[in-house]
C-alpha cells in the first residue's frame, strides 16, 4: 500500500502521445512529492504483532492491518491499549491511517507511561490524539488519566500550571473541521511532537495544537500505543504506521 495516493491525476486511456507524456510526468512528480514527504520515516508495523504488546482478546493483525475489536462478549470496564515495543519517543513525527466503526472510540497515545490497574493489564497515561466514529472528538488532544481535555478540535492552546487551557488561536470552526474527517473510510493522521509543542493533523488539516508550559505535568518522552475504549462493540483499524525521530 503506497504512503499516499494519486488522487486528482486523470486516468490514462487512449491518450495522444503528448498528453500521455504529460500524464507520465505528472505521475513521476506525484511519486517524487510523496517520497520527499515520507523521507526519514520508518515503518513500525510489519503486519504482525512482533513489536506490539496488548491483550489478544482485543488486538490482532490481519492482512497488513492492526485491528482492535470489542464484541458483545468482550465488553470492557477500562480502556485497553496495545503498546509499541520500540522504546520511548521524545521529539518525533508519526504518520498512520485509521478506519473506525460508527460507534467506535479510540486514540493514539504518545509520550505516555504504562500504569498499574487491577482491572486491566494494558492501561496508559499521557497525551492522546482522539479518534471516534461519531467524529465528536476526532483530532483533539486529550490527556488519558491526566488533565483530560487539553485542546478541543479547532483550538490552539497554552497549558500553564494550575490553570485551565488558555485559548490563543482558533484554528477553524469545529463543525467545519469535522467535515474533513471521512466516515467509514480511511483517514490519515500526522502528529508533529517537538519540545513542548504538539500538533495533530487529520487528512492534512491541523485539528489541535498544544504548547505545554506546565513543567510539573508535561512529559517530554514516553511510550506509544493505540486504544480500544469502554463502550459498545466497536472496531478500529490502523495501517501504514510510520515514525520519524527528530532527535
* Pair 6, 31 in one domain: yes
Contact residues for 202 (Cβ-Cβ < 8 A; gap 6+): 138, 139, 180, 181, 187, 188, 189, 190
Contact residues for 19 (Cβ-Cβ < 8 A; gap 6+): none
Q: How far is CA 134 from CA 30, 106, 181, 195, in A?
A: 32, 11, 10, 31
* Pair 222, 112 in one domain: yes
Q: Identify the pLDDT of residue 13.
A: 43
Rounded average pLDDT over 54-66: 97
Domain containing residue 117: CATH number: 2.60.120.560
Rounded average pLDDT over 144-168: 97
* Pair 53, 32 in one domain: no
On average, the pLDDT of the chain sits at: 89
* Pair 226, 104 in one domain: yes
Rounded average pLDDT over 221-226: 98
* Pair 97, 33 in one domain: no
Q: Identify the pLDDT of residue 38.
A: 84
* Pair 196, 102 in one domain: yes
* Pair 71, 182 in one domain: yes
By percentage, how much of the chain surpasses pLDDT 70? 85
The secondary structure of residue 21, as a DSSP letter, is H
* Pair 28, 58 in one domain: no
- Chain segment 15-30, per-residue pLDDT in tens: 455 555 554 555 454 4
Give the angle subtended at the CA of 224 by the CAs of 212 and 103, to the nearest 5°. 95
* Residue 220 pLDDT greater than 60, yes or no: yes
Q: Identify the pLDDT of residue 17.
A: 57
* Residue 183 pLDDT greater than 60, yes or no: yes
Count of domains observed in the chain:
2
**Sheet of strand 80-84: strand arrangement:** 52-53, 80-84, 223-228, 105-115, 123-132, 141-144, 148-151
Residues spanned by the domain of 208: 42-245
The pLDDT-based confidence of 83 (bands split at 50, 70, 90) is very high
Amino acid at each position: 500500500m503506497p504512503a499516499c495516493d494519486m488522487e486528482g491525476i486523470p486516468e490514462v486511456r487512449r491518450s495522444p502521445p503528448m498528453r500521455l507524456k504529460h500524464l507520465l510526468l505528472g505521475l513521476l512528480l506525484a511519486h517524487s512529492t510523496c517520497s520527499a514527504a515520507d523521507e526519514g520515516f520508518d515503518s513500525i508495523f510489519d503486519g504482525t504483532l512482533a513489536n506490539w504488546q496488548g491483550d489478544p482478546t482485543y488486538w490482532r493483525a490481519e492482512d497488513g492491518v492492526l485491528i482492535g475489536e470489542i464484541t458483545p462478549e468482550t465488553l470492557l470496564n477500562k480502556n485497553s491499549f496495545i503498546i509499541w515495543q520500540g522504546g520511548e519517543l521524545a521529539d518525533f513525527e508519526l504518520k498512520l491511517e485509521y478506519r473506525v466503526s460508527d460507534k467506535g472510540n479510540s486514540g493514539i497515545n504518545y509520550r505516555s507511561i504504562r500504569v498499574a490497574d487491577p482491572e486491566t493489564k494494558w492501561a496508559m497515561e499521557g497525551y492522546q490524539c482522539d479518534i471516534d466514529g461519531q467524529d465528536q472528538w476526532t483530532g483533539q488532544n486529550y490527556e488519558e488519566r491526566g488533565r483530560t481535555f487539553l485542546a478541543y478540535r479547532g483550538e490552539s492552546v497554552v497549558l500553564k500550571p494550575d490553570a485551565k487551557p488558555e485559548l490563543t488561536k482558533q484554528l477553524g470552526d469545529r463543525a467545519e473541521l469535522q467535515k474533513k474527517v471521512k466516515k467509514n473510510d480511511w483517514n490519515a493522521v500526522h502528529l508533529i511532537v517537538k519540545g513542548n509543542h504538539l500538533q495533530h493533523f487529520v487528512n492534512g488539516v491541523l485539528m489541535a495544537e498544544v504548547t505545554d508550559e506546565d513543567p510539573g505535568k508535561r512529559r517530554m518522552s514516553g511510550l506509544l500505543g493505540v486504544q480500544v475504549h469502554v463502550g459498545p462493540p466497536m472496531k478500529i483499524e490502523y495501517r501504514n504506521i510510520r515514525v520519524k525521530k527528530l532527535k
